[in-house]
Structure 1
Amino acid sequence: MPEGHVIHRLAEHLNTTFGDRELEFSSPQGRFAVEAASLNGHRIALAEAWGKQLFIDVDLDAPEHIIHIHLGLIGGLKLTPFADPTGAVRLRITNGHTAADLRGPQWCRLITDAERDAAVARLGADPLRPDADPESTWIRVHRSKKSIGALMMDQKLFAGVGNIYRAEVLFRLGLDPRTPGKNLDRGEFDAIWADLVDLMATGVRDGRIDTVRPEHTPEAMHREPREDDHGGEVYVYRRAGQPCHVCGTPVETTVLEGRNLFWCPRCQG
């Protein structure tokens, strides 16, 4: 599932590419045809991300004027030069030169302002939003007996954070992912939040997740670059059994609440 930096990057591209232009909305697949027809010929007022959810506000004078998209595990939204659509395109947005095609989302629906506000209210603080307030997240983490590894995957606490950022931030800070939230002090929580803000902003800028410090890059360590579908250079994510870039200890893995967790038992012991 795409992590929050992907959705924020998409929102930026939609605003830059389509902002302030009359657009064609369609549903080549047909499953969003009625909604797309109501939007056709209108403009995007604002596309914005909250965590892993995308909201596209269209300047339509009707209660339902916001496209609410969650890509889920297999969904994708890609901007490409205009061409005839291929495959099962749920929603197409185009200005005649560029097309944004949505395929396989968990959901794509047209909602009202109130419904958007209700969806956002269920989310935690988003490290990529300048209006984020992590105070309520800290209060809930500090009261919880759940591990910080589990808490960081809870979208009601850390909106937009996924498995990669969870594993990498905890490694970078030397924190055992199995530590109960209530055992963290405020300085440790603030360090987690600050590292998420920095790393995820870099992800938006570069379009990939890179978490290794300069001294641990392939060039600095004279090692081969990482080969993985997710791209980017990381410390522990999907590196089970491989030597830690810092201490050489084999990276360990386990399943935590249905998701694979990766950590270095020495650096995070």
Structure 2
Amino acid sequence: MPEGHTLHRLAKLHHQRFAGGPVRVSSPQGRFADGAALIDGRTLTRAEAWGKHLLHHYDSGVTLHVHLGLYGKFTESAVPMPDPVGEVRMRLIGAGRKGEPYGTDLRGPTACEILLAPEVDALTSRLGPDPLRRDADPDRAWSRISRSQRPLGALLMDQKVLAGVGNVYRAEVLFRHNISPYRPGKSLTRPEWDAMWLDLVALMKTGVRRGLMHVVRPEHDHGAPSYAPDRPRTYVYRRAGDPCRLCGTTVAHAVMDARNLFWCPTCQPG
């Protein structure tokens, strides 16, 4: 599932390409036909992301909400666009303020729907602070973490606690701060949380800028290759059974709340 930096990159791209002008919206697949009709021809005023949610705001007061889920994907294209291929939930074409036309096709999202303002407020109010948003309040996440007996590995993935953090950032930020994913939230100290929050902000901003998750410090970015040829190195994510890059201990694997968990038992004791 795409993590928060991917949605913020999409929001920035869509705002640059489509905001400030009318857009043409259709649903070649047919499943979003009614929603497409509500925003077809309207002006996109702003695109933004909150955690793993993409929001397109329109001059009519309605908002397009997209959650990519496990299989959703936007495919960007020059105009004129080719005929739709496959199950295209939504096709959006516009020129924005710059007057240069672009198009994008959306396939396989978990959610593609039109929301009214109260529904948008309800959505965002149940999400935790997003490290990539300027209005994020890390105290909201700390308040929930510091009172919880749940393990930190679960809390960091709970979008009601922290929005936008997924499996990679969860595994890597815990490693970078030598914190076991099994430690109860209430055992975390405030200085530890402040350091983790600042690290997440920096790491996720790098992800937005580069389009990939760079989580290994430069002095450790050598040795064993990444888990995939098109991905930067990680410390522990998807490295189960391999030696830790710092201490050589075998990286451990378990399942926590139905998600794969990776950590180094030596560097992350407890």
Q: Do the structures match in fold with TM over 0.5?
A: yes
Counterpart residue number, 1:102:
106
Q: Unaligned 5+ residue runs, structure 2?
A: 96-100
Q: Distance in 1 between matches of 2:178 and 2:138?
A: 21
Q: Distance in 1 between matches of 2:227 and 2:175?
A: 20
Displacement over 6 Å in runs of 4+:
none
User: TM-score, normalization: structure 1?
Assistant: 0.94
Find the residue that maps to 1:192 and give its secondary structure: helix
Q: Which of 150, 153, 160 does residue 156 from structure 1 map onto?
A: 160
Q: Distance in 2 between matches of 1:43 and 1:19?
A: 7
Q: Distance in 1 between matches of 2:156 and 2:18?
A: 34
Q: Distance in 2 between matches of 1:192 and 1:54?
A: 25
Q: Unaligned 5+ residue runs, structure 1?
A: none
Find the residue that maps to 2:228 and give its secondary structure: coil
User: Equivalent pairs: percent with the same residue?
Assistant: 51
Q: Which of 149, 163, 167 does residue 171 from structure 2 map onto?
A: 167
CA offsets 1:185-206 (integer angstroms, 9 cap, x no match): 1001111111110000100111
Matches for 1:25-104 after TM superposition, within 5 Å: 25-60=25-60, 65-81=62-78, 82-95=81-94, 97-104=101-108
Counterpart residue number, 2:255:
255
Find the residue that maps to 1:174 and give its secondary structure: coil
Q: Distance in 2 between matches of 1:229 and 1:6?
A: 19
Q: Distance in 2 between matches of 1:88 and 1:44?
A: 24
Cα gap change, 1:136 to 1:106, in 2 (>3 Å): same
Q: Distance in 1 between matches of 2:35 and 2:260?
A: 38
Q: Distance in 2 between matches of 1:21 and 1:214?
A: 42
Find the residue that maps to 2:236 and give its secondary structure: coil
Q: Which of 118, 123, 133 does residue 119 from structure 1 map onto?
A: 123
User: TM-score, normalization: structure 2?
Assistant: 0.93
Q: Distance in 2 between matches of 1:33 and 1:233?
A: 42
Aligned residues: 262
Q: Match for 2:196: what amino acid?
A: I
Find the residue that maps to 1:143 and give its secondary structure: coil
Q: Distance in 2 between matches of 1:197 and 1:94?
A: 32
CA offsets 1:135-155 (integer angstroms, 9 cap, x no match): 121111111111111100110
Q: Distance in 1 between matches of 2:75 and 2:54?
A: 13
Q: Match for 1:201: what amino acid?
A: K
Q: Distance in 1 between matches of 2:42 and 2:142?
A: 41
Report the aligned-residue RMSD.
1.4
